[in-house]
Structure 1
Amino acid sequence: MPFLLVPLLLLGLLLFLSFVVVQQGTVAVITIFGKYQRIMRPGLNFKIPFIEFVYKRISIQNRSLELQFQAITSDQANVNFKAMLVYAVLNHEEEAIKNVAFKFVDEMSLMQALVRTVEGSIRTFVATQRQAAVLSLRGEIVAHVKEQLDATLESWGYHLIDLQLNDITFDEEIIRSMAKVVASSNLRAAAENEGQALLITKTKAAEAEGNAIKIAAEAEKVAAQLRGQGVALFREEVTKGMAHAVQELTENNLDPSLVYFSMWTEAIKHFAEQGKGNVIFLDGSNEGMQKSIQQLMAMQQLPAAGGPAGGPPQRRS
């Protein structure tokens, strides 16, 4: 019975060593005497005991890595980057798995190479840019890194899924100077906007004032024309009335001077009523009155000399 127990134990040990469980999300690389043989997929797998060995278990899930480094722009400004790198095995094909398993001695060497490659690619790009442009070039930096790393990572059996530049900062002194530049630019823009607004306001006010003056001038022109026409009509009517009155007096053998005397007295009455306290000096002597009447008579003769302008008709002998 003890002799049977030993073979059973050996058989059980062989069976135990013959089966390998591979977890979901990983693959196992199998070697024979140190040489690559095949790949085991997730689940229960069989291997030859003491001949086939599990060389390495490789995760095919996505991995992330945080980076923090510094770069220098073309105008010698220090830029601090904080980034997150997301990468994974290129695919589940045998060639990609072999590259992942055998390209690097260990995981630490892979991480070091990956970090230095990403940092070097970003530093190369930033070195061609000026400080003021870096903050607006996140997308261009990521595209540049992916373009530069795709071939390299593929040769290692990996591919870059995403690169996120979470934080881009400058030295404290540069940040203060940038804040001053932004503040001065805002002040200049505000001053320009205020100047434009003031110019528009002044222009509109000048246009409105010019239009008002033009309208007032046109109105004054029309008013002056109307006043002139009114005065002309008034004088014409007065002349016609005087001529008619003189004609009536002449036909009745009366002295036409009565008309001028009446006009004289009416004028004096008008001066007294409309004077508003003003003092008007008139010559009330006989000679002065005669002189004024003669002047009125001379005015009455003007239409007669000029033809038919409202004066009395001229008699022909």
Structure 2
Amino acid sequence: MQYFGIAIFVGIIILFLLFFTVKQQTAIVLERFGKFHSVRTPGLQFKIPIVDKIAGKVSLKIQQLDVVVETKTKDDVFVRLKISVQYQVIKDQVYDAFYKLDNPYTQITSYVFDVVRAEVPKLRLDDVFEKKDDIAIAVKGELQEAMNTYGYDIIKTLVTDIDPDEQVKHAMNRINAAEREKIAAQYEGDAARILIVEKARAEAESKRLQGQGIADQRREIAKGLLESVDVLNGAGITSQEASALIVVTQHYDTLQAIGEKSGSKLVLLPNSPTQASEMLNTMVTSFTAAHELNEHQIKKEDSTDSKRNNPNKDDSFTFPTNP
């Protein structure tokens, strides 16, 4: 009975040695007597104990390697670039990935350094930021061609960080701040100019409407005066008497309006019974003088035109002679 139990125990151990499992997204390299035998895929697998040996495991998942490269740009600025390389072992080339390349990380890093240090020195610092996708494509193209031989597929390369020298970053920030202040000043100047222009337009429109209102007011006053003169003429009052009556009436109406205005202060105005008559005489005299001056100017212009058209004509006055 004791031997039977030992036999069962030995059988279980042999069973465990005969069978093994392979996890998902993993490949097992199996060697027989130290020589490559086969690649086992995920699932339950069989091997001969002592004869077969698991040489190693190869992950079929997408992996990422971050490489930091320091180099110099065309305008002599030192910059550090972080390149992220996503790669994967090709399922049908597990043998090449396991036996041909001892350290894939070192190999990928070397190619990244080579490509970046060949591409970045051709570009200025501003172009490095703008053309980072071109740098990533160049790195992927070089890696893809080299690593396919070793059983690795380059899924994607990314330039995840561009870090210039600290002093250069401060200078770039100052330049950016100065440029933004310049733009802000331009916008503020434009806004101030627009306000000034609009204010001037509003004042001009206000003056225009004010002048138009005064002109309309005076036009209506003139119409009213004309109607008043016609009414007074119809009542047998001459035009001069009607004008004097209207001036006197408006004079006293103005004095009354000044006195009745709320909050008005003391206003001293010359006033006498003859004030309206003197005002009317002054107005009539002014109108007469202006009319005579206008007629004299018209006669002078006609004389000048006549001389220009008949230069031989003598306008001098001659006394008649007796026969």
**TM-score normalised by length of structure 1:** 0.63
Alignment of 1:99-248 (within 5 A): 99-104=96-101, 106-107=102-103, 110-241=104-235, 244=236
For 2:168 and 2:63, the matched residues in 1 are separated by 35
TM-score relative to the length of structure 2: 0.62
Shift of 1:144: 3.8
Unaligned runs of 5+ in 1: 1-7, 247-258, 284-291, 296-317
**Aligned-pair distance for 1:175?**
0.8
Q: What is the rounded CA distance, in whole Å, between the counterparts of 2:237 and 2:61 in structure 1? A: 128
Match of 1:278 in 2: 270
Identity level (%): 18
Structure 1 residue aligned with 2:310? none
Contact 1:66 1:82 in 2 (8 A): yes
Paired letter, 2:67: L
Tell me the CA shift for residue 56 of structure 1: 4.4
Larger radius of gyration: 1
Q: Number of residues paired by the alignment?
A: 254
Q: Report the Cα offset of residue 33 of structure 1.
A: 7.0
Unaligned runs of 5+ in 2: 1-6, 256-267, 276-280, 285-323
The residue number in structure 1 matching 2:72 is: 72
Q: 1:238 to 1:81 in 2, by over 3 A?
A: same
CA RMSD, Structure 1 to Structure 2 (Å): 4.2
Q: State how far apart, in whole Å, the 1-side matches of 2:123 and 2:47 are.
A: 57
Deviations 1:54-111 (A, max 9, x none): 5544232333333222132222221112344332202x22xx112212322x22xx22
Cα pair distance change 1:20/1:137, threshold 3 Å = farther
Q: Deviations for 1:217-246, whole angstroms, at most 9, x for unmatched residues?
A: 2222222221222222233333333xx258
Where does 1:15-26 land on structure 2 (aligned, <5 Å)? 19=18, 21=20, 23-24=22-23, 25-26=25-26
The alpha-carbon deviation at position 179 of structure 1 amounts to 0.8
Give the residue type in structure 2 aligned to 1:100: A
Cα-to-partner distance string for 1:123-175 (whole Å, 9 max, x where unaligned): 34433432124335554443443344223222221122344544321111101
Residues 34 and 219 of structure 1: CA distance in aligned 2, closer, same or farther (over 3 Å):
same
Q: Is the 8 A contact 1:26 1:41 kept in 2?
A: yes
After TM superposition, give the deviation of residue 115 of structure 1 in Å.
0.6
Q: How far apart are 1:267 and its partner, in Å?
A: 9.1
Q: Which moved more, 1:52-61 or 1:229-238?
A: 52-61
> Which moved further from structure 2: 206-215 or 38-47?
38-47
8 A contact 2:116–2:139 mirrored in 1: yes
Aligned partner of 1:97 among 89, 94, 98: 94
